[in-house]
Amino acid sequence: MKGILVLPALLLFAAALADCSSPSTSGSKTNWFHSCDDHDDCGEENSCLCGVCTVSCLEDADCEEGFCSFELETSVQCGARPEQQRICLPSSDAPCFEAPLIVDDELGEAVPPDCDIAGALICQSFDRLLPDDHSTWLDGEMNASIQDCELSQGAGALRYQSSGVGQAQTRMVLPSSVSTGPLHARFFLRLSGATDLPDQLQLLELWEDEGDDISERASLFVGSDGVPRTFIGASNTTVQPDDAVPLPRDAWICLEWAINVQDQTGSVELSVDGQSVLSRSGFDTQPDEPISVVVVEGQLTGDTEGVDLFVDELVVGTQPIGCQ
């Protein structure tokens, strides 16, 4: 893994701004990247944007100093405001960028999907800081971040990494709960070959609520053999592939998970890179309460130490999504 720049999300450029009493002497503007409260703090040529003296930009050539921030860096400096323009920010020698997620146990309201995909309920590209209404929970030695060191596509991807025993969950509320009918989830996964897999490494879950009793949840997980499986809590059933082929490591793969939520006539399917690996029908997949929460995870069972996985381009909806 390449070296990475890791700074607290709301203090991303504190290191570059630390010496504010000594203005930069390069370029014609001497107050580049000073911290500020309003435009008066930045002189006549720079503006106070997102707490720093700078200018808006479309490309690096627009910046007399630094570089023109990408979507991820902009959201970290400015907050998760989609309307915020790119701004010039200090350059770094780090080859890639990683912003730790803010840990917040309180799950908020549903975030409307912003992708043009039929039937979509959740669209999360992980290209910017997550909305405040999402909830990230960490335990033990687990870290969670949005980074651009490893990408499937776009500007960022979610990373869960631990140096020891740890667990992580990022929870999202569905804008409309699902009590019956089809529910599809598509995401891209990159699992490090160095990860020592436990009996179960949870990747994605569907909960009927966020309470203490989630026994009727549906879970997509990887076993110690690297083979993906599905647990359906409504019938206490684990569905295994016909052929026990482990997931590829150190490569991005597309996972498509589909559950037809029905009492006694339900079904579950899983495809890897467009190829079906798991399918079963004719059993109970319907929890007592409607499915309302989607949980992205790096959740270990047992005391296996160390996990490193990346998730990108998550879409959850009521229609098939595809890998394109």
Q: For residue 39, tell me if it sits in a domain.
A: yes
User: 105 and 40: one domain?
Assistant: no
Q: Is the pLDDT of residue 213 over 80?
A: no
Q: For residue 62, tell me if it sits in a domain.
A: yes
For the segment 194-213, the average pLDDT, to the nearest whole number, is: 85
pLDDT in tens, 251-269: 999 999 999 999 999 999 9
Query: 75: domain range?
Result: 5-97
Sign of the C-alpha dihedral computed for residues 108, 112, 118 and 119 taken in this order: positive
Reading the block at residue 298, the tokens are 């790096």
Q: What's the predicted TM-score (pTM) here?
A: 0.86
User: 273 and 298: one domain?
Assistant: yes
Q: How many domains does the chain have?
A: 2
Q: Is the pLDDT of residue 190 over 50?
A: yes
**Which of 34, 63, 97 is the endpoint of a domain?**
97
User: 156 and 44: one domain?
Assistant: no
User: 57 and 106: one domain?
Assistant: no
Q: For residue 324, tell me if it sits in a domain.
A: no
More confident residue, 194 or 117: 117
Q: For residue 182, tell me if it sits in a domain.
A: yes
Question: Which H or E run includes 74?
Answer: helix 71-78
For the segment 280-291, the average pLDDT, to the nearest whole number, is: 96
User: 199 and 61: one domain?
Assistant: no
**Which of 45, 74, 97 is the endpoint of a domain?**
97
User: 161 and 298: one domain?
Assistant: yes
The per-residue pLDDT of the chain, averaged, comes to: 86
Q: What is the pLDDT of residue 13?
A: 41
Q: Is the pLDDT of residue 5 over 90?
A: no
More confident residue, 281 or 243: 281
CATH code of the domain in which 261 resides: 2.60.120.200
User: 166 and 215: one domain?
Assistant: yes
User: 175 and 293: one domain?
Assistant: yes
Nearest Cα neighbor of 300 from 161, 166, 141, 210 is: 166
Q: For residue 322, tell me if it sits in a domain.
A: no
User: 188 and 295: one domain?
Assistant: yes
**Among residues of the chain, what percentage have pLDDT more than 70?**
86
Reading the block at residue 13, the tokens are 């450029």
User: 248 and 164: one domain?
Assistant: yes
Task: Give the number of other Cβ atoms within 10 Å of residue 73's Cβ.
Answer: 24
Q: For residue 323, tell me if it sits in a domain.
A: no
**Which of 97, 129, 151 is the endpoint of a domain?**
97
Q: Is the pLDDT of residue 163 over 50?
A: yes
For the segment 193-205, the average pLDDT, to the nearest whole number, is: 89
User: 63 and 111: one domain?
Assistant: no
